[in-house]
Amino acid sequence: MSTLAKEYTDLDRALDEVRSVLKEWYNEQAPSSSPSSETLRYTQLVLHEWIANLLQHGDFGHRTPAIEIRLKTENRHVACAVIDNSTGFDFDERLPSRDEVMDELPERGMGLRIINACTDTVSYLPTDSGYYRFEFSIPADHDPWLSMLF
Amino acid sequence: MSFDVESLSSETVVVHMGEALDFRNADSFKSTFQAHVEDGVRNFILDFSETEVLDSTGLGSIFSLYREISPDDGKVAFADVSRPVQVVVQLTRTYKVFRQFPSVQAAKEALA
């Protein structure tokens, strides 16, 4: 099992760094246990969409925004958590249901759907310590084509 | 951030998309294409050869371009699509809407 932990108080910087950090981490993995390059790309995309979501819509009150990214891989499976100090929101309420028809070629509202399509399990819940925890997993054999956007 | 635009004719341009099209520069992309649409450009070749990030807002801005030019029979073509962009294209089935070409040159020849 390999783990990665990074903390940021500058979400803009986090957005720029996360790809290079993930690539560096990926290159250090033993080939036999390393996630596939496709799984890594889904992970990058989900993290980008999530951090972008926090940057655009997160309510941090008077606090300096802070996130901690924890990522681990075992047997080519990826599990990731992003803990933040925002006031959170109801993820399940915001996530459109899979059978909800989208507008044709929408300009907004695709981010959570992309996250959902790229992941096997996903949640955003408060923690006992007063933070919010976004958690997702991507198995080695994940097939996003089962939950296409359109 | 501005986008590097190469004019091929009065109706066709190549937009070199650079490293990222995301929520931070989507408005800049829209301003860029808007200026060219007002000048009569109807065909846009988007060069994704160097693009590491295409997020949902960036994709939405491309949809916006398409909606604007398609009533005038305009075209948006994707060229030299990088792997990170291809993941988004496949997830969203965008390949059904935008023709893809292996290189900018191939797109130029097809749209000439």
The pLDDT tens digits of the residues spanning B51-78 come to: 999 999 999 999 999 999 999 999 999 9
Pick the more confident residue, B80 or A2: B80
d(CA A107, CA B59): 8
Q: Read off the pLDDT band of A98 (50, 70, 90).
A: low
Q: Determine the pLDDT at residue A133.
A: 98
d(CA B93, CA B27): 23
- Name the packing angle between helices A111-118 and A37-57 (round to 10°): 150
Q: Determine the pLDDT at residue A126.
A: 96
Decide if A108 and B57 are in contact by the 8 Å CB cutoff.
yes
Q: How far, in whole angstroms, is CA A106 from its chain's centroid?
A: 21
Whether the Cβ atoms of residue A67 and residue A84 lie closer than 8 Å to each other? yes
Decide if B60 and A114 are in contact by the 8 Å CB cutoff.
no
Q: Which of A41, A105, A108, A112 to mutate to test the interface with B (most CBs of B within 10 A)?
A: A105
> Residue holding tokens 């509202």?
A109
Q: Which of A13, A37, A107 to mutate to test the interface with B (most CBs of B within 10 A)?
A: A107
Asked which of A96-105, A121-130, A134-143 is least confident by mean pLDDT, the reply is A96-105
Min Cα–Cα distance to chain B from A149, Å? 5
Q: Read off the pLDDT band of B98 (50, 70, 90).
A: very high
Q: Which of B64, B91, B96 to mutate to test the interface with A (most CBs of A within 10 A)?
A: B91
Enumerate long-range contacts of A19-22, CB under 8 Å, 24 or more apart. A19/A44, A19/A48, A19/B52, A19/B53, A22/A47, A22/A71
Decide if A105 and B63 are in contact by the 8 Å CB cutoff.
yes
Decide if B60 and A19 are in contact by the 8 Å CB cutoff.
no
d(CA A107, CA B21): 14
pLDDT of B112 above 80: no
To the nearest 10°, report the CA torsion of A96, A111, A115, A113: 30
pLDDT tens figures, A31-65: 877 899 999 999 999 999 999 999 999 999 999 99
d(CA A143, CA A135): 19
> Nearest-CA residue of chain A relative to B83?
A41
pLDDT of A146 above 60: no
Which residues of chain A make contact with B64, given a CB cutoff of 8 A? 107
Q: Least CB-CB distance to A144: which of B57, B61, B91?
A: B91
Q: Read off the pLDDT band of B93 (50, 70, 90).
A: confident
Quote the tokens at residue A122: 């996903």
The pTM (predicted TM-score) of the whole model is 0.92
Asked which of A104-118, B8-22, B89-103 is least confident by mean pLDDT, the reply is A104-118
Whether the Cβ atoms of residue B73 and residue B44 lie closer than 8 Å to each other? no
